[in-house]
């Protein structure tokens, strides 16, 4: 089932859903989506984490706190996990920052440049998803991987790797 829905539209649809508004605490932001195919269903895993802006233009980044797995393109929620109450994450202090934004790879970009690069990444997701629903071969893997690796917060990489191991291992440069 191909759809003309974009990743940005999907994330907005998901984030504005009544279910997400009930499950995800106010103030948590969306991380980068990870894709996974289960049977014949394309699943989108979205991590949520807290960030706190500071006056020195460094935003504190906290551990990934919640994840939602939703079905593409409907946004139907398949799974919700609060990592605060997950045994696998019991040693994590969710109230202690794990890093700061802007990390090294993006520190030279102003807000507009960062948003432009993120939009470019979302367009790459769209092309990749479109190829999954057609006979087209996706040829942008290297560019997608490079840009994803640049934009992904280094301090959140351990969470991405654990939450979406297959996607992470395939697309996030070492």
Q: pLDDT tens, 108-144?
A: 999 899 999 999 999 999 999 999 888 888 999 999 9
| Stretch 25-47: mean pLDDT | 95
Cα gap 33→10, rounded to integer Å: 10
Peptide bond into 73 cis (omega under 30): yes
Q: Residue 14: exposed, middle, or buried by beta-carbon count in 10 A (0-12, 13-18, 19+)? A: buried
CA-CA distances (angstroms) from residue 79 to 23, 69, 92, 147, 155? 11, 5, 21, 28, 24
Structure tokens at 52: 């706190």
Q: Residue 67: exposed, middle, or buried by beta-carbon count in 10 A (0-12, 13-18, 19+)? A: buried
Choice among 63-72, 96-105, 120-129 with the minimum mean pLDDT? 96-105
pTM here is 0.93
* Domain ranges for the chain: 7-161
Residue 3: what pLDDT? Answer: 58
Cα gap 116→113, rounded to integer Å: 5
Residue 57: what pLDDT? Answer: 74
> Residue written as tokens 């233009």?
57
CA within 13 Å, CB half, 112: 0
> Residue written as tokens 């939602």?
68
The answer to whether 84 and 62 have CB atoms below 8 angstroms apart is no
Structure tokens at 147: 């840009």
**Residue 89: strand, helix, or coil:** helix
For Cα atoms 14, 16, 20, give the angle at the middle one, nearest 5 degrees: 65
């Amino acid at each position: 089932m191909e759809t003309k829905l974009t990743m940005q539209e999907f994330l907005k649809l998901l984030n504005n859903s009544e279910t997400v508004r009930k499950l995800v605490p106010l103030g948590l932001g969306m991380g980068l989506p990870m894709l996974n195919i289960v049977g014949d269903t394309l699943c989108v895993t979205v991590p949520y984490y807290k960030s706190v802006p500071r006056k020195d233009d460094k935003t504190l980044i906290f551990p990934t706190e919640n994840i939602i797995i939703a079905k593409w393109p409907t946004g139907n929620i398949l799974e919700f996990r609060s990592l605060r109450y997950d045994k696998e994450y019991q040693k994590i202090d969710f109230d202690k920052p794990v890093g700061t934004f802007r990390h090294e790879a993006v520190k030279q970009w102003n807000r507009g440049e960062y948003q432009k690069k993120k939009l470019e990444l979302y367009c790459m997701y769209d092309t990749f998803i479109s190829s999954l629903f057609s006979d087209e071969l996706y040829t942008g893997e290297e560019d997608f991987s490079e840009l994803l690796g640049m934009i992904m917060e280094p301090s959140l990489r351990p969470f991405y790797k654990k939450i979406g191991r297959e996607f992470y291992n395939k697309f996030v440069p070492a």
